[in-house]
Structure 1
């Protein structure tokens, strides 16, 4: 009881303590929850139809697409620009797929297994023809080859076969293809449904034929807008606002964009830097000219072109146009140091020899391996003797679990960046081997019995060593440039200060408007993702820190000057205002010129008012007329001519894109050789109408509330 009394006496304090404890517990859970939400939000790369897209999900799709391209192009690596293209393609396809699937589901459209199998059986889809499952004899997709592969993959997976790893990339490739095919089929069904809603009729067909084939010859009188001085036209804000309401749909933007001012400084080599590399290249030229083994000199020089030690065609230097364009014309010997301003390099070329070699060689071979190198040699010798005695090549190959089939060896080796001594030995044996002769190549891992069967496309090839070195700036030059730019940025805390100090430091402030999150870098300079992230996180008037970007050869500072939210741009936006001003001036100039032509009833009267007269022939309604005097295509003029009878003068002046016009229709006639085909014209009208609604996917995407935040991650 005493204890209860103490509790009661301190009840208020206990309530406060317990309340604080509960608050702390709740606050802790709230913080955890908020952190979880923030963590989840930090992984969102965007939204489509209100559904968040996780960066890991997107990256997985990019990797799938990358793997497909590896198989298709037979390449293992891609450039930064190529990877950006992959990400763009995957993002666009993902958005399209999500939007299409949602809308197709509303009308009950789906792709069945039977429909997919039918496409596979037909095998005519362009995607299938490009797949690895193509019959080499027919050049067509072979569904049986696909089934055999899938069956083999499932067996390898069940038995955990060593072949599984090799088959996995092709299996993933097929899964991607299948998914893409389903989406393609769904899109075709959706478009077919839409097409069935677009019809034509006989009246429309007859009018369309007339519009295409009724040609008019006219005498045209033109008064260009340029004949009225801009200074004589007064434009008020009320004029601009009225024109804005008329053209408002043109100023709708689907995504937020931002405007910036920036200073980009590229570090260039100093005179001292150029002198140093010239001195180094002069020494290398002497070494290369006298070297018994050019490979060592080229390797130590740091050349960006490796030495293969094999004769190659000029096509091997396709990435270096200056070398490719020069190599064939060079005689045996060593050039001096050559500067190429296009890629900012110094170059030395030593030509060792010129030979005639085939681009394609048909070969067959037997790989021979033994428990020891000596055993391999003995087996190879016995095979060579047997073949020399008339033994069948393919029969011997079968004894060693090989086919010995004929294959074509091409000049793909020419584009290799490096080649091992043994691979060089093999290529030389193929290129230089006599037709039908059998060679016994002794390699470190065994022997190869090689027979050359045919040679084709013999051309001139050059054995050359090339030293190509960029003219680079030194560390001292970079440090001096960094210190100077850092000082400039430190003094430029506002846009006004950046602009004021730029000339003093020798920099130039530039502008870039309407930057969207879909770009991969700032003003086309590599490695500017951090600057891009800053731009979309900054407030108007903010100035960024210094960014080191490019290929470690650029310094940049950015200032945010304007933000254009998603939606309609306002009438007083600088770009909108300029466009409105042009349109208002055109309207007012047109009004003056049309008033000038008021009461004119013939071409002579228009010419007396200062109009330029010319002949305009074969004008049709469906093809807008081009007027030489104003340098402009004029759709309104074509319409007015079509509505005017032969022999008549235009009732009213026509306001065009670049001037005001009046005309006399000299004659009208049906185009020579044209003949009305009602069924054909109705079909043509349906196709034209379908094109008008062909942008349905773009409309669906615009309504899907797409949010793109890829710039935060890539």
Structure 2
């Protein structure tokens, strides 16, 4: 009662407190809503349609599985994953751009069209699937149909988990192929619509033929622009501004870029680190000599960069320095320790066995799995006995929900891969088992009834225990480099300080202009995503904190110089280029004025800084290369085509100088004019040019790419 009375007496205060708390809660949520990009989970946007990080990751995962499956890979490297992310993004953007245009035009791809493509079986995408005839290598639609029926009737509870997983992966692969077929067909339709509107005509065809086959031999004389000193040519700011306005569209950039400067320190091993690795490998080589079993465990304890494989492998999958020494090493002999400069490592190895083994094996199997180990063994023994007594392998396989079809497997699928004991046991069984024999092999919780049908390409293979220790820096070496660099970063907090003091501290301040977030790495160094995010959040003049990056072997600091927003580049960023062009044009005007009235090349040759040359086989369609000016000059081909033999041209303004030419002779190649062929060539050229339509669509779509915030 006392407690209730206390609450009643404090009632008004509690109402105020609770009210304030609710206001704070609501206001806090409102503030989150009002804050720009707060909790943002979108990697990009196309035509106003946002793509979430989750959906993008799903697409990346989907394509990654396709790449692994079609290339026989168990995992992907960082570079491969980065490549896949770029491909997925580019594909998504292109598909969105084309889909938007196709919808306006009423372009669609029907199920009937997809079926027709599959029935025809010649589309390049179909050749990336496993549904190919083993004899011809061609896409087999019947294999696909059989798989789709089996997949639709898949009973997860009755089939082994490995088979279920395989069917699901194959099903996902086909779904991806079918979706991509639909997208690529729509893109082809849209591009054909554009390219078919670009046609040739007989006049253009004849001009193109003449431009390619009519050629001239010339005498050329001219004065390079370099003959006139830049200091004699004045360029005003007004002239730069006028040229900028004329060429403004050329300075339009679609994405924001930034000018940065950075210091990248790669930590390297010290002499003491090298000596320590050498001593360790020497000790391991002594231990290897006395090791006679469980080589995998021993090699693992050495920290070797090469795992031990209990399966014999070809020489070409071993490190090249080891492979080169195999033939000069006896079985059970220790080679090493030795230093290999190519990968900066100390090494020792021991050949355990040398055998003759096939490079391709054809086999078939029945996987047996029951409720427990005892029942699995009983069932496997029963199947094995039946087969030994003459039962049909394929019929028995079908009885247990499997195909029993023979499959070829290449040694490439396991050589060089890290294999556990069970996989090694399986592969050794394939290698050692005689053709046509049947084996009952226990693998994990299951049994495999295995029959080898054929073997091909026998060659020498080896079991080798390798101790390969790359020379790596020690923790002490890394700490020394870190402490020194962190002190430098702490003492140099401005770009000016870094520029002034970097060199005397043994560092290089590297400039990088127009850095884009799509480059993924700062300075080409891995694991610099945090530095990349800093660059695109910083303000000009700021210096970043110290980043540990690379493969834990790089230290980096970044400074932001300038921001180039998407849109038109400001005049100051292109002023130097414009001044150079204006200066060149003024030099050209000055030289052409001096050449006015000239009617011979001798007059040109008499000018200060003049050069001359003979140029042969100049055509209208191919730019002439003037070696004395070290420049390609397309305009000379045009003048040569219109200048008569023995005539001298008017002054010609070129890329590298002003020239006059005299045509010595003209002739034609032996090619015969074929109007239809020429028109087809021009139409094909137009079709190739039409593929650039995607750039125009991109510019209008307000594409936003913020993947760097997430990946």
TM-score range, shorter chain: 0.7 to 0.9
- 2:196 aligns to what? 196
- 1:269 aligns to what? 269
Moved more, 653-662 or 500-509: 500-509
Moved more, 96-105 or 352-361: 352-361
- 2:493 aligns to what? 493
1:426-465 deviation line (CA, Å, top 9, x unaligned) = 4344434555666676777677666655442233333322
Matches within 5 A, 1:593-612: 593-609=591-607, 611-612=610-611
- 2:4 aligns to what? none
Partner Cα separation in structure 1 for residue 324 and residue 611 of structure 2: 52
Cα deviation for residue 532 of structure 1 reads 0.8
2:110 equivalent among 93, 109, 112: 112
Cα deviation for residue 173 of structure 1 reads 2.4
- What secondary structure is seen at the aligned counterpart in 1 of 2:374? coil
1:233-257 deviation line (CA, Å, top 9, x unaligned) = 4444344334433433332211111
Partner Cα separation in structure 2 for residue 399 and residue 106 of structure 1: 54
- 1:338 aligns to what? 338
Contact 1:344 1:470 in 2 (8 A): yes
- What secondary structure is seen at the aligned counterpart in 1 of 2:551? coil
Q: TM-score scaled by structure 1? A: 0.87
Matches within 5 A, 1:144-163: 144-156=142-154
- 1:102 aligns to what? 100
Moved more, 634-643 or 598-607: 598-607
Cα deviation for residue 278 of structure 1 reads 1.6
Partner Cα separation in structure 1 for residue 616 and residue 439 of structure 2: 75
Matches within 5 A, 1:48-197: 48-156=46-154, 166-197=166-197
- 2:623 aligns to what? 624
Contact 1:284 1:297 in 2 (8 A): no
Partner Cα separation in structure 1 for residue 392 and residue 552 of structure 2: 61
Partner Cα separation in structure 1 for residue 590 and residue 186 of structure 2: 55
Moved more, 129-138 or 556-565: 129-138
Partner Cα separation in structure 2 for residue 68 and residue 404 of structure 1: 25
- 1:475 aligns to what? 475
Structure 1 segments unaligned to the other structure (5+ residues): 1-13
1:261-285 deviation line (CA, Å, top 9, x unaligned) = 1122222222222222221111112
Matches within 5 A, 1:579-598: 579-598=577-596
Contact 2:314 2:415 in 1 (8 A): no
Q: TM-score scaled by structure 2? A: 0.87
Matches within 5 A, 1:25-424: 29=26, 31-36=28-33, 42-156=40-154, 166-293=166-293, 294-317=295-318, 320-324=319-323, 327=326, 332=331, 333-363=333-363, 371=374, 386=389, 406-412=406-412, 414-421=414-421, 423-424=423-424
- 2:675 aligns to what? 678
Structure 2 segments unaligned to the other structure (5+ residues): 1-11
2:705 equivalent among 705, 708, 711: 708
Contact 1:380 1:447 in 2 (8 A): no
Contact 1:153 1:164 in 2 (8 A): no
- What secondary structure is seen at the aligned counterpart in 2 of 1:518? helix
Contact 1:441 1:447 in 2 (8 A): yes
Q: 2:695 aligned with 1:694, yes or no?
A: no
1:544-585 deviation line (CA, Å, top 9, x unaligned) = 111111111222111111111112212222xx2332243234
Partner Cα separation in structure 1 for residue 18 and residue 421 of structure 2: 76
Partner Cα separation in structure 2 for residue 450 and residue 470 of structure 1: 41
Closer/same/farther in 2, CA of residues 135 and 702 from structure 1, 3 Å limit: same
Partner Cα separation in structure 1 for residue 418 and residue 691 of structure 2: 50
- 2:562 aligns to what? 562
- What secondary structure is seen at the aligned counterpart in 2 of 1:606? helix
- What secondary structure is seen at the aligned counterpart in 1 of 2:466? strand
Cα deviation for residue 367 of structure 1 reads 6.5
Partner Cα separation in structure 2 for residue 494 and residue 330 of structure 1: 59
- What secondary structure is seen at the aligned counterpart in 1 of 2:572? coil
Partner Cα separation in structure 2 for residue 373 and residue 711 of structure 1: 51
Partner Cα separation in structure 1 for residue 489 and residue 556 of structure 2: 9
Cα deviation for residue 146 of structure 1 reads 3.3
Closer/same/farther in 2, CA of residues 402 and 203 from structure 1, 3 Å limit: closer
Contact 2:118 2:141 in 1 (8 A): yes
Partner Cα separation in structure 2 for residue 334 and residue 121 of structure 1: 60
Aligned length: 690
Moved more, 96-105 or 627-636: 627-636
Partner Cα separation in structure 2 for residue 597 and residue 141 of structure 1: 68
- Measured on the aligned residues, the alpha-carbon RMSD in Å equals 3.5
Partner Cα separation in structure 1 for residue 156 and residue 419 of structure 2: 38
